[in-house]
Amino acid sequence: MSERVYATYWMETGGDPARTAEVIAGEQSSGTFVALATETAELKERSGARVERLDILDTAPTPSLPGGMVSDRYTRATLELSWPVENFGPSLPNLMSTIAGNLFELHQVSGLRLLDLKLPPSFTNAFAGPAFGISGTRKLAGVVQGPIIGTIIKPSIGLTPEETAQQVRELIAGDIDFIKDDELQADGARCPFEARVKAVMRVVNDAADRRGRKVMVAFNITGDLDEMCRRHDLVLAQGGTCVMVCLNSIGLVGVREIRRHTQLPIHGHRAGWGTLYRCPSLGWDYAPWQQLWRLAGVDHLHVNGLDNKFSESNDSVIAAARAVLSPLNEAAPMEAMPVFSSGQTGRQAAETYAAIGCADLIHTAGGGIFGHPAGVPAGVEALRAAWRAAMAGASLEDEATRSPALRSALGFWR
C-alpha cells in the first residue's frame, strides 16, 4: 500500500459541493471531463485522489471569483483530498503539479485555496532539507541565543559596491548580527556582484579579525544556475557565510540545485508571494507553500512581520512563522529560521516572542535601527534590549531603565 499525501483546501462552489469535490479529485488524478472506459474502478481505486473530508462552512449569494458556474448561492467548504505517493513519487515539482496544478481554474469552483499539506515519511525522507537550519545559522552568525538582529542594505538598489561596503562598515560598528541585500540587488551594472562581495567582505573580514565574530551577510545570488553557483563560490571564497535567493524567481529546480551545490545557508526571499496569497479565495496559505521550500533545502524563510507596512494581518504572519518552525513530520523535522521584516522595531519583540514561543528567528529592522537619534549602535542595542525584555517577561519601560539606547528608542519607535 502506498502512503498518501493529504492536502486541505478552502473551496467555494456554485454547484453541489460533494460533486465539485469529486471533480477536483478527478481532475487532479485519473478523471477527466468525460467518463472513460479506460478509467476502470480498479484504476480509480489504485490511482485516484480520494475525498477524505468535506465540511460545509457557509454560503454566499455571489461568487468570490468570476468565471465559475452561475448559481443563486455559493457554498463554502473545507475539503481534504489525498493521493497515493506513487502517483508522483518523492518529487517536489510533480507534487506541486498535483496539489496546486490545474484545479484553481476549474469552472466548478469560484474559489479555491490550499490551506494545509501533510506529507508522509516516504516522501519527506527523500530530501535532506536545510543544510544549516537554526543551529547551523546560529553557529555561523555567532549568536548563541536570542534573535539574530539584522537589517537590509538600503537604498535597495543604486548604491555602488563601495557605498554598500561603507554601509556594512557602519552596521558592523553598530554590532549588528546579520545584513542582507535587497531582493532587487543581484548583479546589476551599477553594483556588480563580484565587486560588491569583494568590497563588503573586505570590511566583514577585517572586522571579524578584530572582533572575533563575523557578521552574516546574505548576498543575493539570484540568477541562472551557473551564475548562482559562481556567485556562491565567490562568497564562500571570500569568507562569506550566507547566500540569498528569490524562491519564486528561480523556482523549485533552482533551489534544489543550489542546495546540492551550497556550502552556506540559503536565505529564502519570497518576492512574488503576494500573487499567490493576497486574494483570500485563491492560491496558497503560507503553511503548505513553505514546506516545499524547506524540503528543497532553504534555511531561512521570510514571514513578513507583526504590524508590517504591507497588507498582511498579524494572524497570517504568526501562522507563517509557526509553520516555518514546525517539524514537517516526525521523521523529517527540517525546521527553518523565520525572518521577520517590514516596519519592525523593538515594539514587536514581546508579541513576536509570545506568538512563536522562542527566539529562533532573524529580526530585521531598517528605520527601527537607522532612525535612532544616537546612531546605528544605539539602534541595534535598543532592539537587543527590547528582546531581552521580551524573553524575560519585562516591559520595555522597565528594561529602558537599564538601557539608555532603548529609552531613547522608545521616543521614535511608533
Using CB under 8 A as the binding rule, the residues of this chain from 322 to 341 that contact a copy of itself are: none
Considering only the stretches 70-78, 98-106, 325-333, 402-410, report the one whose residues sit in contact with a copy of itself under the rule CB under 8 A. Answer: 98-106
CB of 44 to a copy of itself, least distance (A): 7
Footprint on residues 304-323 left by a copy of itself (CB under 8 A): 304, 309-313
CB 10 within 8 A of CB 281: yes
Out of 3, 16, 55, 105, point to the residue binding a copy of itself (CB under 8 A): 105
**Cα 184 from chain centroid (whole Å):** 17
CB of 334 to a copy of itself, least distance (A): 17
How far the first Cα of the chain sits from its last, in Å, is 57
CB of 208 to a copy of itself, least distance (A): 25
| Strands 50-60 vs 74-84: parallel, antiparallel or unpaired | antiparallel
DSSP reduced 3-state for 45: helix
Considering only the stretches 5-13, 22-30, 140-148, 203-211, report the one whose residues sit in contact with a copy of itself under the rule CB under 8 A. Answer: 22-30
CB nearer to a copy of itself: give 36 or 392. Answer: 36
Out of 20, 30, 124, 137, point to the residue binding a copy of itself (CB under 8 A): 30
1 makes contact with a copy of itself (CB under 8 A)? no
Q: For residues 283 and 81, what is the distance between their CA atoms, to the nearest angstrom?
A: 16
102 makes contact with a copy of itself (CB under 8 A)? yes
Which residue, 26, 46, 42, is CA-closest to 34?
26
246 makes contact with a copy of itself (CB under 8 A)? yes
104 makes contact with a copy of itself (CB under 8 A)? yes
Footprint on residues 117-146 left by a copy of itself (CB under 8 A): none
DSSP reduced 3-state for 343: coil
Considering only the stretches 46-54, 231-239, 329-337, 392-400, report the one whose residues sit in contact with a copy of itself under the rule CB under 8 A. Answer: 46-54
Grid cell listed for 259: 542546495
Which residue, 265, 394, 282, is CA-closest to 339?
265
CB of 311 to a copy of itself, least distance (A): 3
275 makes contact with a copy of itself (CB under 8 A)? yes
Q: Which residues contact 212 (CB under 8 A, 6 or more apart)?
A: none
Q: For residues 238 and 165, what is the distance between their CA atoms, to the nearest angstrom?
A: 14
Q: At which residue does the C-alpha cell 563580484 appear?
A: 194
Q: Which residues contact 97 (CB under 8 A, 6 or more apart)?
A: 88
CB 270 within 8 A of CB 308: no
Considering only the stretches 53-61, 132-140, 265-273, 389-397, report the one whose residues sit in contact with a copy of itself under the rule CB under 8 A. Answer: 265-273
CB nearer to a copy of itself: give 197 or 252. Answer: 252
Binding mask 368-397 for a copy of itself (x = CB under 8 A): --xx--------------------------
Residue 145: how many other CB atoms lie within 10 Å? 9
